[in-house]
A = this chain, B = another copy of it.
Amino acid sequence: MIAAANKHSDHEHPRPRSAAVVADIISQLSDLGYRDTEPRRLVISAVAAQSNPFTAEELCASLPCVGRATVYRGLRLLVETGQACRVLLEDHDLRYQLSHQGHHHHLLCGVCGASADLEVCHAEDMLREAAAAAGFRMSGHWLEVFGQCGECIED
């Protein structure tokens, strides 16, 4: 019923080489007809280099040579093509991170900002049933879980 989650923070598992991730994304975008440009690559590299959910503004700051609009456009492109996902913090702060799988939810640490994927296998079925009980046909949902990660609990 409940599955563990794999932590994304770089404390434990080094992620796949960033360059490979970037190349893969560029390739997928190319298949969709999007061009391979220098600024785009820089944006994607910067996204891939982040370990925790980040804001568009932070990304802009880390990419002084790329126009703000390009960063936002790149981010939107990644979200639209499913390469990245939006993460909404408790205070409605909107952040982004690479998608590590299809549809999933996030565990967000309010202390260090780390995120982990939350896998609640039957959550969707349960929500669908509850919606049906109210006469609704569920088409989607948004779920974020806030708290403290293991490391921050210890400290």
Each complex incorporates copies of this chain amounting to 2
Whether B134 contacts A118 by the Cβ 8 Å rule is: yes
CB distance from A153 to the nearest CB of B (A): 6
Extra pairs beyond A123-B126, A130-B145, A136-B147 (18, CB < 8 Å): A2-B130, A4-B133, A5-B133, A86-B92, A88-B92, A90-B140, A107-B134, A107-B136, A118-B127, A118-B130, A126-B126, A131-B147, A136-B145, A136-B149, A137-B148, A138-B145, A141-B143, A142-B142
- Chain A residues packing against B (C-beta within 8 Å): 1-5, 7, 86, 88, 90, 92, 94, 107, 109-110, 116, 118-120, 123, 126-127, 129-131, 133-150, 153
